[in-house]
Amino acid sequence: MNGNTLQQKIQKFVVNIHNLPYIAQQIGTISGLNVTSRDRGLNGIENTGNTCYMNSILQCLRHTALLNNHLLTHQTQKMLMKNFVENPNNGRELLMLVKYIKIINIMWNHNKIKLTPLSFKILLNINFEQFANSGQHDAHELLVTLLQSFHESLSKNVRYCITGTIVSDIDTHTKKAHEDWITYYKNKHSIILDLFSSQLRTDVTCLNCQKTSYTFDPLMIIDLPMTSNIYHSLDQFTATEQFSEDNLYQCEQCHSRTRASKRQTLWSLPNLLIIKFNRFQYTSRDDRYILEKICGCVTYPIKDLELSKYLSPPLIRQTFYDLYAVCCHQGTMNSGHYYAICYNEIIQAWVQYSDEHIREITDSAEVVSNDSYILFYKKKT
């Protein structure tokens, strides 16, 4: 394909995505896609100019079988068409999910090809201006953006109804958790929430009257501090901390500004657990803040990550997760590269995807990478 032909196709695509009949036609084409003829799926993605952040996230998401098995159904096509008819102005965002579905279909039904997802990148640029350039971007920011976008594209209006009589503290907390959930998601529900979403409970205790207040925040990605071990990071994440003198708490019970303590725990757990290590942090230097990368290895289990210690009391129960993908960042802030390590269920082996370069991993110790940035776990059944 010569450059002029490619440029012409890009120009035609940019015109088409403003054409409502084209968007409707594209939504209609995904109903015939399936995963029954899956090949080995050892396919790379071309770097079209600082797109390794996007390529690594696409590889991790396309190995998220629970999500993709749902997307490749007639039900998804019906929901997208319904949402498009109700709000055509969101057509270009819906089209981005359509292009993602086509990407995963192509990559699982072929082997050893190199995909160039230009249309997906164009739609990403148009829908989200923070990515509308050829610069390097944060893979975590892209992941958050895609999950939220996919949720909006697949959401349906529901009516949450809380019934029953409160007879215990756990009932009080459950009611408050549902109320906070409704406030945040505004009666919209999707398969994205079913798979990825959990809730974080924050307990704030007034040190003057000992009254504790509770909030329940939706959570799709857990941000952990950098330590040498993921369990140490989780210990820090859920540790009790004291409010400082310059950050006093306004207590609703004793009506005073006072010292308080705060603790975060996991109120609920998702089917698909995403953990991000805070490798990029601002540090103060010469009276200005500089974003720097924290290097070093964090050890984490490939099998049987166990989280009962970090659940909100009294909801202590054993829950295990198995790792299936890792988004990695190597190098420095100024000169870095993203790549993915994913478990390929067809060949039952770990594979490293670095843009178009693919390498099967024979030593599972490599999966616990010094470059790990975002971990993808699935709940064990």
Ranges of residues in the chain whose predicted pLDDT is under 50: 1
pLDDT at 119: 95
Residue type, 320: F
User: Contact 356/337 with Cβ under 8 angstroms?
Assistant: no
pLDDT at 1: 43
Domain that holds residue 188: 3-379
Model pTM?
0.94
pLDDT at 279: 93
> Which residue in the block uniquely carries the two structure tokens 């010292």?
259
For the chain, the domain total comes to 1
Q: CA-based angle 123:118:30, to the nearest 5?
A: 70
pLDDT at 3: 52
Partner residues linked to 45 by β-bridges: 115
pLDDT at 291: 82
pLDDT at 38: 67
Residue type, 201: R
pLDDT at 121: 96
pLDDT at 158: 85
The CATH number covering residue 307 comes to: 3.90.70.10
Per-residue burial over 133-166, b if 16 or more Cβ lie within 10 Å, else e, is eeebbebbebbebbbebbbbbbbeeeeeeeeeee
